[in-house]
Amino acid sequence: MFPSLTSFSQTHQAPATIRETTTLVTVPSSSPNNPAAKPPESNPELSLGTYGTAVKQLQKQLKQNGYFTGPIDGIYDQTTELAVYNFQISMGLLADGVVGQETLKSLNNSSLLTAWTPVSTPLNSSSNLPPDIQGILDRGILVVAVLGTDNPPFFSENSQGKLTGLDIDLGQAIATELGVKVKFDRSAKVFNEVVDLVYQHKADIGISKLSISMARAKKVLFSSPYVSMRQGLLVNRLELAKKAQNKRPEEVIQNLDGKLGVIKGTQYALFFAKTRFPQAQVVEFETWDDVVEAVKKGEVLAAYRDELEVKKIVLAQPDSALDIQTVALTDTKDALAMVIPWDYDHFLAFVNTYLDLNNLNYTVEQLINKYPDIFKQES
């Protein structure tokens, strides 16, 4: 038995749900280890990335006085840094999250330790917020990384040169919630360069139709999904018939061993195609238009992308049904999420709270209804 395949070109409706056959994996929301971790030097200064006995003792002292809630593991991570930051504020010290001589002196002064009443960081004070949030507020600008090539309805320039789309709206909304301005960095030429800008702290967040993947999760944090959809294929009808012969079309697609077109630099090229169709010959193209044209000409058997882009072809070019068949892979998942620097834990929580409070997790049908002009038939 093969997973059900739904033809968009026949129904123009979202495919019916079937029993999933793939194993879904959970993408970790944070990385417990700091890849740049370094042992403490003989100088008793401790900071983000150090580890060892001195850090373990620091964590014990902070926990005893109500500042640290994490595990006593000897790793100076973001949680430890925030605890030090709050401790320094309480003691009137320079609040930089680094344990130097003055901070050590205060920690080791037992009379002071018993005299304090530990206080939590007041959220309404612009000077006492977690470092990741405070850094954005101090700058006054939220830097959002977005792919340089337009991809409506997510991001594109209108006739007046203004950026519009779902991802642009989300970036602006998060900046508004923070009370800062927004700057969109569109220097990335491929999707993974958006991820790299965030990983390198050249952007505070990436909102750019980015698929969740384990490879990307090694470098950045993912928000909760804000779009959930499936994967799809555009298949050349004639080439499929040649391949099928005495086989069912579903069997040919399930064990596809012909040429499969994908966009260069996407997760479909780097990961999904090799995993889903290991026998196929993956052919990379610069643009989606190039991939679709190759399918129509029979240069590749099928094009592989998310169901939204597949459905967009059907709705905008109904005559294309003469040359291509549109298929939804109903046992697959392609969730889109925002990417955030690996050490921005509180900002990640802030973004997820925004998504949750506004109940934002679009389906393909909801996007089509929200942006009807994008999917209307071409004249």
Do the beta carbons of residue 247 and residue 306 sit within 8 Å? no
- Using DSSP, how many helices (H) and how many strands (E) does the chain show? 18, 13
Q: What's the pLDDT tens digit per position in 4-39?
A: 444 444 433 333 332 222 222 222 333 344 444 444
* Residue 126 binned pLDDT confidence (cut-offs 50, 70, 90): very low
As a whole number of angstroms, the distance between CA 48 and CA 34 comes to 9
* Residue 88 binned pLDDT confidence (cut-offs 50, 70, 90): confident
Q: What's the pLDDT tens digit per position in 315-350?
A: 877 777 778 888 888 888 889 999 999 999 999 999
As a whole number of angstroms, the distance between CA 105 and CA 102 comes to 5
As a whole number of angstroms, the distance between CA 98 and CA 48 comes to 8
* Residue 203 burial by Cβ neighbours in a 10 Å radius (0-12, 13-18, 19+): buried
Do the beta carbons of residue 205 and residue 338 sit within 8 Å? yes
Does residue 266 carry a pLDDT above 60? yes
pLDDT of residue 209: 94
Lowest mean pLDDT among 128-132, 199-203, 285-289: 128-132
* Residue 377 binned pLDDT confidence (cut-offs 50, 70, 90): low
- Give the list of residues 6+ apart from residue 118 with CB closer than 8 angstroms, or none: 65, 66, 67, 90
At 375, list the tokens: 């999917």
Helix (H) or strand (E) holding 313: helix 307-316
Strand 181-185 with 302-306, pairing: unpaired
Higher pLDDT among residues 38 and 369, named by residue: 369
Closest to 350 in 3D by CA, of 228, 200, 179, 201 = 179
pLDDT of residue 9: 41
pLDDT of residue 378: 58
Helix or strand or coil: residue 230?
strand
The angle at the Cα of 43, spanning 39 to 48, to the nearest 5 degrees, equals: 45
Do the beta carbons of residue 188 and residue 265 sit within 8 Å? no
Lowest mean pLDDT among 4-13, 113-122, 235-244: 113-122
pLDDT of residue 40: 46
**Is the link from the previous residue into 71 a cis peptide, with omega within 30 of 0?**
no
Selection from 24-28, 279-283, 306-310 with the highest mean pLDDT: 279-283
- For the chain, give the number of residues: 379
* Residue 65 binned pLDDT confidence (cut-offs 50, 70, 90): confident
* For residues 198-205, average pLDDT: 96
When the pLDDT of each residue in the chain is averaged and rounded to a whole number, the result is 81
Closest to 86 in 3D by CA, of 55, 62, 50 = 62
